Structure 1
Amino acid sequence: MTATRDTTAPAATGVHADRPALLEVDGLTVRFRLRDAVVHAVTDLSLTVRPGELLAVVGESGCGKSVLAHALLGLLPGNATVTGRALLRPPGGESVDLVGCTERRLARTVRGRAVGLVPQSPATALTPVRTGRHLLAETLRAHGHTRRDAPAAAERVAADVGLLPADLDRYPHELSGGMAQRLATALALAPDPPLLLADEPTTGLDRPLVDHTLDLLRRRCDTGAAVLLITHDLAAARRVADTVAVMYASRIVEHRPTEAIFAAPAHPYTAGLLDALPDRAFRPVPGHPPMLTDLPAGCAFAPRCGRASDVCATPPAVGAASGSGQVACHHPLTAGATA
C-alpha cells in the first residue's frame, strides 16, 4: 500500500506542535580549517524536528546538507570545528547535546540506537568481508534480537526495502549501487531508531524503488518516528515531506510547509530551484553558488538574484513568511512576507 502525506496536517513549524521536539538544533556552525583557507560549511543553522514529522533539507550540491547530518552524529574529520547546540530528546531516554557529546556516548547510546543514518555513499560504509545477511543479523543482535530470531528479522527488514533473500547472501562488492543503497537503508532501519537521518537515500534507484523508499520513510513518520531527509530531489520532498528547509551557501534561507513552498516560494533562490524543474519552466538558476571559502558579507544569493539591491550587502535577518514558516531575504517574493 502506498503511503501518502496528509496535507491537512498543521503547517510549518507548527507540524505536530503539540509534541515536544525530538531534535532541536540552534545556531549550528561547522568550519573546516585548511592550510590556507576556512570552509564555511554550515552557518548558524537552526531547526526543530518533532515526532511524526518528515523534514526535507534541499539545495544544490555543496551547500552543506550532508555536513549537517555528519555533524549531528560526530562523524566529521579532525579539521572540523563545530559550535552551537543540537539537543536530542529520545523517548524514554536522557536528553543529550549532540554537539558537546563525547565519542564514547555517541557510539554507545546515540548512533544506530537513537539516531539512524542512511549514508550518501553506502558502498564505502558497508563492511566488505561480510554478506548483507551477516551485517543485518549482527545489527539486530546488537539491538536486542536473539541469535535465534535475528535471521528471520533480517529477511523482514530486507523485504521492506525491496531486497530478495538471495540478495542478502552477496558481499557488498557483488551488489549494484541501488542494492547497496537499499542494504544501507535496511541497516539504518533495523534498530528502529526514533530519528532517522536519510542522506540522499534514493541515489542509484529507479523510479519505482525511489517511490517505494520514500513511502517507507513516510510510514515511519506516520507511526511516530521522525525523519530528516537530505535530498536534491524536489519531487521527492514534495511527495513525502511535511516541511522543507532550503539551504544555500551553508545557510537555511527558507523553512516552510511543503505545500506553501511549492505553491508560493518566498525566497528567490527557492523560486529558482522550482523553476528548474522539468514540469515547470525547466530554466536553471542563473550563475553559480559562491565558494564556501569566500562567502560574501551580505546575502550570498545576491549575485544571482534579479531582486538584489544595495541593502543585500548586509546579511538578511530571518523573518516570518506568509503561510507560516520563515524566510531570510530582504526582498521576499510572497505577499506579506517580512525580513
Structure 2
Amino acid sequence: MPGGRSVAAVTDATFALAPGECLALVGESGCGKSVLASALLGLLPGNAQTAGTALLSDGRAETELLTASEAELARSVRGRRIGLVPQSPAAHLTPVRTVRAQLEEIVRELAGVRGRVELRAAAERAAGRAAFPPDHLDRHPHQLSGGLAQRAATALALVGDAPLLLADEPTTGLDRPLVDRTVDELKRHTGGDRALLMITHDLAAAERIADRVGVMYAGRIVELADAQRFFGTPGPRHPYARGLLAALPDRAFTPIPGMPPELGALPDGCAFAARCDRVTARCAQVPAPYDGVACHHPVTAGKDARHA
C-alpha cells in the first residue's frame, strides 16, 4: 500500500488445475503473476490482503490456502504438498551452507533418507534432475552464477515430488538447451497425480510443455485456453494474447504498442483498451470473462467479433 493507497495486484483470478496437468501463466512483467504465486503459498507481505478461495485438494487433505495459518503452511504445505521454484533463487538458498548440504537436508526431511552414503547419493540424483553439475555441489550460493542458482533451487523444489509444483520463472538465466532440459524435467513432474503451475514470460518454454495457457494483463486473467489451440490454429482470442505471440522473433516480431498501466492507477473499463486496435465505446466497461476470454471484441475463428 504505497503512500497509503491500496493496489489491487490480482483481481478475479479464476482457474482450476487438475492432476497430471501443466498450466502456464504468461504475461508481461508486473502483471501480477508472481503476486498470485506468493498468495497461494502465504508469502505476501504482512500488509497484503487476500479474498476468495484457493483450495488445495490432493488426496492427502483439503486446505484453504488463503486462510491457512502460517504454522499449517510451513508444517504441511510448503515443500510437502506444494514445491516452489522461486523467481529469485538466491534469496531462497541458505548463504552459509553448500548446495549439497541443503539438498541433503531436504532429502532427509521430505524423503526420509538417513544413511550418510544414501543421503549423498540421493542429493546427487536430485541435482542431476535439474542439470546441476556435481562438481559444484560443495559450493556456497554466492559462488554460483544466476543460472546455477536457478538450477539449485529447481533441484530443491523437485525433491519432495509434491502434488503441486509452482515454478515462478524457472528458466531465468538459462541458455536455450538448459531451458528445454529444465522445462522437460518440470513436465515429467506432472506424471500421475502431480500438477504444475508454471509462471513464465518465456512463451517458447510454455509452448513446449503446457497443456493450457492462462494470460494475465494488469492483474487479471484475460484468457484461458488449450495450449495447442493457443499456439496453433486458430490461436488466441484476446487481442493482448495475440499481440504477445506476434512479438516473438520467430513470428511477426511486432511489439505491442505502448506500455501496460500501473496496477495502482488502472483506467476505467478495459485495461488494454489504450493499446488495442479493436477498441470501441463498449471498452469503457470492464469486460466480464466469457467462454475463457475477457474481451468485448474477441477474435473468433473465421469471424471478426469487433462489432459483435
TM-score of the two chains, using structure 1 as the length reference = 0.86
Q: Identify, as 1 or 2, the structure richer in strand.
A: 1
Contact 1:42 / 1:64 at 8 angstroms: preserved in 2? yes
Distance 2:184 2:6 in 1: 39
Select 1:305's aligned residue among 276, 283, 292.
276
> What is the aligned counterpart of 1:157 among 105, 109, 126?
126
Aligned partner of 1:138 in structure 2 is: 105
User: What are the superposed Cα offsets for residues 141-184 of structure 1, whole Å, 9 maximum, x if unpaired?
Assistant: 11142321222111001011112222110000111111110000
More helix by share: 2
1:54 matched residue in structure 2: 22
User: Quick one: distance in 1 between partners of 2:184 and 2:219?
Assistant: 29
Counterpart Cα distance in 2 of 1:306 and 1:36? 35
Question: Is 1:212 aligned to 2:181, yes or no?
Answer: yes
**CA 1:337–1:102: 2 relative to 1, 3 Å:** farther
Indicate the residue corresponding to 1:68 in structure 2: 36
Residues 177-200 of structure 1, C-alpha deviations (whole Å, 9 max, x = no match): 111100000100001101000000
1:218 CA displacement: 1.1
Instruction: Tell me which amino acid in the other structure corresponds to 2:155.
Output: A
Instruction: Map 1:28-107 onto structure 2 (within 5 A).
Output: 33-91=1-59, 93-107=60-74
Aligned partner of 2:265 in structure 1 is: 294
Equivalent residue for 1:195?
Answer: 164
RMSD: 1.4
Contact 1:241–1:258 under 8 Å retained in 2: yes
SS at match of 1:48: coil
Deviations, residues 96-149 of structure 1 (Å, cap 9, x unaligned): 100010101000000000001000010111000000010000011111423212
| Paired residue total | 301
**Residue identity opposite 2:94 in structure 1:** T
Letter of the structure 2 residue corresponding to residue 277 of structure 1: L
Query: By how many angstroms is 1:332 displaced?
Result: 0.3
Decide which of 264, 272, 275 is 2:246's aligned counterpart: 275
Flag the 1:337–1:192 CA change in 2: closer, same or farther, 3 A.
farther
Once residues 247 and 88 of structure 1 are traced to their aligned partners in structure 2, the CA distance between those partners, rounded to angstroms, is 22
With normalisation by structure 2, the TM-score equals 0.95
Match of 1:331 in 2: 297
Q: CA deviation at 1:337?
A: 9.4
1: distance between equivalents of 2:252 and 2:77?
A: 43
CA distance in 2, matches of 1:200, 1:337: 34
Q: Which residue identity lines up with residue 72 of structure 2 in the other structure?
A: R
